[in-house]
Structure formats: C-alpha cells, structure tokens
C-alpha cells in the first residue's frame, strides 16, 4: 500500500489538515474540504436483484476506479463501511474481492475508525434519555409506554428482536415490550449519511421522534428529552469521512453504512462532496438491486441534496441471470444460454429503472471463469435491447484495473452523453400516492394492500407536515416483496404492513411483508471461520 499521506496529496489534501488513524487511514475534517468550480462526474453502481451467486457490486466499483486511473483519469471511490453483523454472519466482508479491494480491508471490515461505535452509542444514549424523561415525568402526557425509539446492536442477535424491560419494578421504569434493531438500520446511521455539515446534523438529530404524548397526538423529539448536545459530541468525529485506498493505490472514502433493504443503502453525502472536489470521476455504490438501493439513492439521497449522478453502472453476472432463469445454485456453473435468456428479464428491468430516472446505463458483466462466450453474448444482447449504452465484461477480480479499462471507457462515454435526472414522485404527494408509484413502476405490483392502521398512520404523518420520501423496507431477494419470486414478476401484491417515521433522516419507512430489522445468525455463520493467527493476522473475513 502507498503511504496514506501520498493518497491524500493525490486528492489535493494537505496532510497537516487531516487526522491520521495509524499509517494507512485518516479522517478528513469538513474544514479541510477543497472547493472547486468543476466538480467530478458521479457514477453510481447498482445491480440486478441479488442471488446466492453474488453479483460483486463492490468489487466492480473498486475495479472501475482502478480502471479509470489506468486510462488516465483522476478517480475517487466512495463506498459504505461494512457492518459487523453480516461480517460474522454469512455475507462476509464488504471491501471487494480478488485484485479489486479497498485497503486496509481487515480494518475497514472490523472497528475501522470507530464510527459505528459512535453511532450505536448515540442511538442507545438517546434511548436512555427518552426513558429517563418518561420516568421523571419531564414531558406532560409522555410515559414509558409511549416510547417508540428502540435500541440497536451491531450483532445479529435474534434474541434481542423483542424484549421486555422494566422487570425490576418502578425503580427500573414501567414494564413494557420493546426491542433492538441492527445498527445499520439506525436512524442516526441514516442521518449521518445524509447530513451536509454539523448544522444540518444538529437539525436532523433534533427532529428525531422518540415517542408520542397525549394519546399519540404529539410527537416527542430528541430535543424534548434534551439529548441533542450529547449526541453531537458523540458524533463529532463520525461525520468526518475516512480516507483509505484501493489495492492499486487510488483514493477511496469509506463512510457510513445504512443497509439497502431496511434503510437507504448509500454512503454519505459529505464523502461524495469531498470526492467530487478532488477528482474527475467519483464512483459510488448503492445497496442491493436497482429496485432498492438505486431507487433510494435517487429518491432519498439526491432528493435531499446529494449530487446528481451522470451515469449508472448495472452489475450483472451470468450466474445470477441463470438463477433468475430458474436454475438452482448447484447448477449455476453449467452452461445454459436459455436460462440466461429467461433470467435476463431481471437485467432488463434494472436497466429500465435506471433509464426511468433519466440516467444513461452501462452494464458491467462481472466475469466468472466458467462463463461461456455464448452466455456473455446473450447478456450483452439483452442489455442493449433494454437500452443500455454498452455491456462489457468486468474482470477486476482477476486482473485488477487492467481488466476494467473497457468498462472505464464505456462509463466515460456514458457520462459525457449527459443525464436528465427525474425523480419518481413529488414531495407534496400523499404517502399513499408515493407508495403506489413505487409499487407499480418499480416493483411491478398489481395491487397495494394496507395493513391495520397504516392509512391512519399515513394521515397522522401528513398532519405533522412530514412530506418525506418513502424508504421501502422489503426483501432484497426479489423485485417483489416475496423472496421466492425470481426474475421480473408482475401482478403480485405489495403488502404495506407498517409505517414508521424517521423525521431526522426525513423519510417515511414503509415495511412491506415480514421484514426483520435485526437479522439472526445463520446455522453456519462466517464467525466459525474467523480467527487470529499466531502471527497476528485476521483470517476468514470473506470478501463480496
């Protein structure tokens, strides 16, 4: 690896302004951000609907940065920090793979610079302050039973999904049911990813709703329980982006980590802002498939002040399309052009989603060794017919930046073609209209069903002036809300089971189907294979 001071200098950053964390990573304070009149073009990387074979968005994103550097451009990567939950669960690490990785991968996948601990601490401290305010009777009409703010943990601990607290009697507060979410689903995680500066962070933290008073009529906020100042102190360093590098020594900013299926799934606005002042091209990644992470990138992140992208890359694999074409995991290595053809409906839909938002699309075919020329040709044909400007092989895993130059050239051409960014709905639209727009246009549902009290909740949110975008929490394994429906299913039912307010993150969370906001460890977790060697090397941290 290059010295991190050299990487900073490549971005035009003064080393004396930065806050080093060891020899290979540094935080960039907001006051050290350069200004520019010619910001970089932003490229967002999305994908087909995830499959057991893995699509490799992060590997492609890292490789694309190295490919852009190989053709003489100045690129910067901005990606999310991996969560410890999936790392020790089944997914593994989130720093890419093969020769296309963000480094130091072990540190990034583990504690890194402490941002996630700060977020978890701030979130749970707010829970303690809400309980304390209710216990002391500080707010008229507000009691422990009125608290809606749950706690978070970064472990996939299913036993904490639903808990009973206050079992010690009056001294410990009223007996009530609550629970934990995964820290990547914390509203504070989303706030940190969306805040533009410290003033914006304070305003957003102040608006967090922790419960309701007076029979559910009046929201109780973090301001009301007097927790904002302490949370600002806990988060003062976490707002600063983290500078690292790719395996080939190109700049990378790794910052924040909201999940793409139960949160908005994008890295931070401040990281993008910094990167665009220091590069020709910025490559960023949106979580999961185009129907989730990319939609939220546009309708939440861009809508709330994030920079507009110039183009999008849709990552696909031959194996993934065979899965969507009905092939089981054990047979994905067997050539099957017909299954690729059948599964390409999912790729076509992903490309069409990108085009619906006014962006030119390039399809990156993340190459596996057993892909055949005939299968590759079928993917290219489907991509071009769907409206992609190009569909090229991505060989970053095996070849690094040298295997990504064709994709880099295609992305530069697409970015030069120009975008006409369009969002899916208007801020002032009713909540039900926004959900209907998502369900029909992106998820291809035949109908939307509204669970008990969900329409009433929507009206209550509107009465409070919360004209926020919708953050859909649904399975990432299907365009629909049913994880068993592969390909591009149409005419299904989109079930709205619950609405939650995230007033600080300025979004309305719409739970569709049976959604777990705290995953559990699988029967064969990756944790079984993680260990520290006698030489002090961490092993078993899987790449994605």
Tens digits of residue pLDDT in 477-514: 999 999 999 999 999 999 999 999 999 999 999 999 88
Confidence class of residue 544 from pLDDT cuts 50, 70 and 90?
A: very low
What mean pLDDT, rounded, does the chain reach?
A: 95
The two structure tokens encoding residue 475: 């399975």
Give the pLDDT of residue 185.
95
> What sign results for the dihedral spanned by CA atoms 400, 405, 406, 407?
positive
Q: What is the dihedral of CA 23, 201, 141, 136, to 10 degrees?
A: 40
Give the pLDDT of residue 172.
78
CA-CA distance, 110 to 93, in Å (whole number)?
9
CATH topology of domain 115-234: Domain 2, N(10)-formyltetrahydrofolate synthetase (3.30.1510)
Give residue limits of the domains in the chain: 29-81+265-417, 115-234, 431-512
Give 457-470 as a DSSP string: HHHHHHHTT--PPE
pLDDT tens readout for residues 234-266: 999 999 999 999 999 999 999 999 998 889 999
pTM surpassing 0.85?
yes
Give the pLDDT of residue 487.
97
Q: Tokens 């102190």 belong to which residue?
A: 233
Strands (E), 257-340: 281-285, 311-316
pLDDT tens readout for residues 60-83: 999 999 999 999 999 999 999 999
Give the pLDDT of residue 542.
64
Give the pLDDT of residue 365.
98
The closest alpha carbon to 405, from 373, 96, 413, belongs to: 413
The two structure tokens encoding residue 29: 């304070």
Mean pLDDT to the nearest integer, 95-115 = 95
Is the domain spanning 29-81+265-417 CATH 2.60.200.20? The answer is no
What residues contact residue 170 under an 8 Å CB cut-off, 6+ apart? none
Give the pLDDT of residue 171.
74
CA-CA distance, 437 to 150, in Å (whole number)?
30
Give the pLDDT of residue 342.
98
Least confident of 140-149, 164-173, 492-501, 535-544: 535-544
The closest alpha carbon to 344, from 336, 354, 356, 334, belongs to: 336
What residues contact residue 536 under an 8 Å CB cut-off, 6+ apart? none
pLDDT tens readout for residues 1-58: 899 999 999 999 999 999 999 999 999 999 999 999 999 999 999 999 999 888 999 9
pLDDT tens readout for residues 376-408: 999 999 999 999 999 999 999 999 999 999 999
> Are 254 and 80 in contact, with CB atoms under 8 Å apart?
yes
DSSP tag of 498: E
Confidence class of residue 216 from pLDDT cuts 50, 70 and 90?
A: confident
pLDDT tens readout for residues 324-377: 999 999 999 999 999 999 999 999 999 999 999 999 999 999 999 999 999 999
| Residue 419 reports pLDDT greater than 50 | yes
| Residue 543 reports pLDDT greater than 50 | no
> Are 323 and 486 in contact, with CB atoms under 8 Å apart?
yes
The closest alpha carbon to 388, from 459, 315, 335, belongs to: 315
CATH topology of domain 431-512: Formyltetrahydrofolate synthetase; domain 3 (3.10.410)
Residues 118, 121, 124: CA angle, nearest 5 degrees? 150
| Residue 90 reports pLDDT greater than 90 | no
| Residue 292 reports pLDDT greater than 90 | yes
> Do 115-234 and 29-81+265-417 fall under one CATH topology?
no
């Amino acid at each position: 690896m290059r010295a991190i001071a050299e990487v900073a200098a490549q971005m035009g950053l003064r080393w004396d302004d930065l806050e080093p964390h060891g020899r290979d990573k540094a935080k960039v304070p907001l006051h050290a951000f350069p200004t520019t009149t010619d910001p970089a073009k932003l490229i967002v990387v999305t994908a087909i609907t995830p499959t057991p074979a893995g699509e490799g968005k992060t590997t492609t994103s890292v490789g694309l940065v190295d490919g852009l550097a190989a053709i003489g451009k100045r690129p910067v990567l901005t990606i999310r920090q991996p969560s410890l939950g999936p790392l020790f669960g089944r997914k593994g690490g989130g720093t890419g793979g093969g020769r296309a990785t963000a480094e130091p991968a072990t540190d990034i996948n583990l504690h890194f610079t402490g941002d996630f601990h700060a977020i978890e601490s701030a979130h749970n401290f707010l829970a303690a302050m809400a309980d304390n305010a209710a216990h002391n009777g500080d707010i008229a009409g507000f009691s422990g039973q009125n608290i809606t703010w749950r706690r978070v943990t970064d472990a996939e601990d299913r036993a904490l999904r639903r808990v009973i607290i206050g079992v010690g009697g009056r001294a410990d507060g009223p007996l009530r049911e609550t629970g934990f979410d995964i820290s990547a689903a914390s509203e504070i995680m989303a706030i940190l990813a969306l805040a533009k500066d410290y003033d914006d962070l304070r305003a957003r933290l102040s608006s967090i709703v922790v419960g309701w008073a007076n029979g559910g009529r009046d929201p109780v906020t973090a301001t009301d329980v007097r927790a904002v100042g302490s949370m600002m102190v806990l988060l003062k360093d976490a707002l600063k982006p983290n500078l690292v590098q790719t395996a080939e020594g190109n700049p990378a900013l790794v910052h924040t980590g909201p999940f793409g299926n139960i949160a908005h799934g994008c890295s931070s606005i401040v990281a993008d802002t910094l990167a665009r002042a220091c590069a020709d091209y910025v490559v960023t990644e949106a979580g999961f498939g185009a129907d989730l992470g990319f939609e939220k990138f546009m309708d939440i992140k861009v809508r709330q002040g994030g920079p507009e992208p110039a183009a999008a890359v849709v990552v696909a694999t031959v194996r993934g399309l065979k899965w969507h074409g009905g092939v089981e995991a054990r047979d994905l290595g067997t050539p099957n052009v017909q299954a690729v053809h059948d599964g390409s409906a999912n790729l076509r839909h992903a490309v069409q989603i990108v085009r619906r938002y006014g962006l030119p699309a390039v399809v990156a075919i993340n190459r596996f060794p057993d892909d055949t020329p005939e299968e590759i040709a079928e993917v290219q044909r489907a991509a071009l017919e769907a409206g992609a400007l190009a569909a090229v092989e991505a060989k970053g895993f095996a070849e690094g930046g040298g295997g990504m130059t064709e994709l880099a050239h295609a992305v530069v051409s697409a970015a030069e073609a120009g975008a006409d960014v369009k969002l899916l709905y208007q801020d002032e639209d009713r909540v039900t209209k926004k959900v209907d727009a998502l369900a029909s246009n992106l998820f291809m549902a035949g109908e939307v069903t509204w669970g008990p009290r969900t329409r009433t909740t929507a009206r209550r949110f509107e009465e409070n002036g919360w004209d926020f975008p919708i953050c859909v929490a649904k399975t990432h394994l299907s365009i629909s809300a049913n994880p068993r429906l592969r390909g591009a299913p149409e005419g299904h039912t989109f079930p709205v089971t619950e609405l939650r307010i995230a007033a600080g993150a300025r979004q309305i969370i719409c739970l569709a189907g049976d959604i777990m906001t705290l995953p559990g460890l699988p029967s064969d977790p990756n944790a079984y294979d993680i260990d520290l060697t006698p030489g002090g090397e961490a092993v078993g941290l899987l790449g994605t």
